[in-house]
Amino acid sequence: MSLFENAVKQFTKAADVMNLDSSMREVLSMPKRELTVNFPVRMDDGSARVFTGHRVQHNIALGPAKGGIRYHQNVTLDEVKALAFWMTWKAAVVGIPYGGGKGGVQVDPTLLSKTEVERLSRRFFSEIQVIIGENKDIPAPDVNTNGQIMAWYMDTYSMNVGHSVLGVVTGKPLEIGGSVGRTEATGRGVRICAEEVVKYLNEKGTFNKEMRDVTVAIQGFGNVGSYAATLINDELNAKVIAVSDISGGYYSEKGLNTDEMMKYLEENGSLEGYTGADKKITNEELLEMDVDMLIPAALENVITAENADKVRAKIVVEAANGPIDPDGEDILTEKGCIIVPDFVANAGGVTVSYFEWVQSLQWFFWELEDVRNALHRIMKKAFCGVVKTGEKYDVDMRTAAYVNAIEKVAQATRLRGIYP
């Protein structure tokens, strides 16, 4: 089953719960636009190579499309469609006026020079500019893209239209209209959800542990995983006993020094060679550890029917997009595992992107505490809304989040009607 088919399967499960009519199902399950571009890029040696890129706008009933652009050798249209699909529900579930979009270029950027990456970025953005704009579609960083690439995008668009347009992308450097708090935003959203799910389960009487006694394992120590680990350690005083990245896993029974690990990562580019843990473990062993909370913050489909029965965590907070496939989720749910779904748990990034967009449109910028307070308020409200929907329909949190989001988008679609 493809990633997009997985996403639609999750949508259909929620649509069945809420008895959504067939016409609305068809409208909401199909992408509005799929743009594929094949474009040449001049390489440093004078030759030209043709690259393929995509930009998908899934739904814009609530507002302009919003979603990142990734550079990866395995990017496909199917993957981009699925990610755009999830962005629609992510924006809706947290109540911000965006639709879902996503983009990607099939390229391994580590094989290109910085100047080649710049030329690729500028040409790709020019190619997709026909559907991009601060009131139409606002890209952001994703896998292997960053603030510098967003700066090139913004400058390219601005040069093409003849004036500076800060709001055409988010995730920009602070010096050209970025927002404070954006780098930590997704990890901070995961930290908020981790706290809220423990509070909720304690109130229900099904967990009975204070946050300081909770053990946590985090697969993935990139931007999201590293900030989530550090904030959960420093602000919630939980015990992060295992983390991993591409170099493998690192375990310490007494808890890891995540601040030290984050500094090591910044200096070395990965955790390879880090000696502050009790022992090295594999990524697979991390997923199967006996911990209270597991946070998959790496790639899609790392928990499947093949390994779900070995997952022992009582709570899974999905920091990555689609880390559990539907079959794996069924197994976890049957075991009583509580899953905070990705498009709730990792919505901190798009929420602060929304704050950045608002600031860019107004040319008026907020203080860090304003950003953090607004993020906490929105994320907590979204989590509580999902919990209430779950109790209303007696369904798991992912289905509840979908129902919550689908209701908002479906109602907007009904109110707007079908043109003409």
For each successive 10 residues of the chain (420 residues), what is the average pLDDT?
Answer: 87 95 97 98 98 98 97 97 94 97 98 98 98 98 94 98 98 97 96 98 95 97 96 97 96 97 96 96 96 94 96 97 91 96 94 98 97 98 97 94 97 96
CA-CA distance, 115 to 325, in Å (whole number)? 38
CA distances from 410 to 6, 91, 134 (A): 21, 14, 24
Cβ-Cβ contacts under 8 Å for 250 (sequence gap 6 or more)? 242, 243, 244, 256, 261, 271, 274, 276, 277, 279, 280, 281
Domains 31-171 and 185-340 agree in fold: yes
Q: Tokens representing 275?
A: 């000696």
CA-CA distance, 85 to 29, in Å (whole number)? 8
pLDDT of residue 321: 84
CA-CA distance, 397 to 390, in Å (whole number)? 6
CA-CA distance, 176 to 322, in Å (whole number)? 32
CA-CA distance, 362 to 380, in Å (whole number)? 26
Q: Is the pTM of this model over 0.75?
A: yes
Cβ-Cβ contacts under 8 Å for 264 (sequence gap 6 or more)? 271, 274, 276
Tell me the angle at which helices 348-362 and 77-94 cross, rounded to the nearest 10 degrees: 80
How do 239-245 and 215-219 pair as beta strands? parallel
Q: Residues 98, 134: contact at Cβ < 8 Å?
A: no
pLDDT of residue 107: 98
pLDDT of residue 391: 95
CA angle at residue 196 from 193 to 199, to 5 degrees? 150
CA-CA distance, 142 to 321, in Å (whole number)? 11
Catalytic residue, chosen from 81, 90, 102, 408, is 102
Q: Hey, which residues does 100 pair with through a beta bridge? A: 59, 66
Q: What does residue 205 show for φ and ψ, rounded to 5 degrees? A: 80, 20
pLDDT of residue 381: 97
Question: What one-character-per-residue DSSP string does 87-142 give?
Answer: HHHHHHHHT-S-EEEEEEEE--GGGS-HHHHHHHHHHHHHHHGGG-BTTTEEEEE-
CATH architecture of 31-171: 3-Layer(aba) Sandwich (3.40)
CA-CA distance, 79 to 131, in Å (whole number)? 19
Choose the CATH number for 185-340 among 3.30.70.60, 3.40.50.300, 3.30.43.10, 3.40.50.720: 3.40.50.720
In the chain, where are the structural domains located? 31-171, 185-340
Q: What does residue 17 show for φ and ψ, rounded to 5 degrees? A: -60, -40
User: What is the chain's length?
Assistant: 420
Q: How many CA atoms lie within 13 A of 169 on its CB side?
A: 31
Question: What one-character-per-residue DSSP string does 164-180 give?
Answer: --GGG-SS--GGGT--T
* Strand order across the beta sheet in which 33-42 lies: 33-42, 48-59, 99-106, 65-72, 137-141
Which residue intervals of 18-113 are DSSP H helices? 22-29, 77-94
Q: Residues 85, 100: contact at Cβ < 8 Å?
A: yes
pLDDT of residue 326: 86
* Residue 388 appears among annotated catalytic residues: no
Instruction: Find, among 149, 157, 150, the residue nearest to 116 by Cα.
Output: 149
pLDDT of residue 168: 98
Q: Residues 268, 226: contact at Cβ < 8 Å?
A: no
Q: How many CA atoms lie within 13 A of 135 on its CB side?
A: 1
Q: Tokens representing 40?
A: 């040449």
Q: Give me the sign of the Cα torsion angle 282, 300, 336, 242.
A: positive
Cis, peptide link before residue 420, omega less than 30° from 0: yes
* 386: Cα separation from own chain's centroid: 18
